[in-house]
Amino acid sequence: MRRGAGKLFDANGREVPKPTVTLCGFGSNLLDADGRPYCHGLAHHNRLHFRWAEVRGLEEPLGGLPCPWEGGHWEYLLLDEPRDYLTALGMDGWRRL
């Protein structure tokens, strides 16, 4: 969720802190002086998207017992053309950060 998209609430209606990913670049600039892309500009222009991928029900490599922890990891999707976030969520190509 973008910082400017408002507050984030849990299922009980309590406000919760938004997860944060720090991006390189400044403003909405897409490229630096050498033509390399800035992450912040790509995200601002809907070409770079992030999501949290929950990991549940993992099994231990030995023994087949349930993993004692639950968690997840960040994933990103880098696109050649801008796409809104809901469209991006349904696309293939997400990679682990």
Q: How many distinct helices (H) and strands (E) make up the chain?
A: 2, 5
In angstroms, the first-to-last Cα distance of the chain is 17
pLDDT in tens, 35-73: 888 889 999 999 999 988 877 655 544 455 554 445 778
Range of the domain at 81: 3-96
pTM: 0.71
Q: How many domains does the chain have?
A: 1
Q: Which residues contact 10 (CB under 8 A, 6 or more apart)?
A: 16
**Mean of the per-residue pLDDT values for the chain?**
81
pLDDT in tens, 13-41: 898 887 778 888 777 888 888 988 888 99
Helix (H) or strand (E) holding 49: strand 48-55
Whether 1 shows a pLDDT value over 70: the answer reads: no
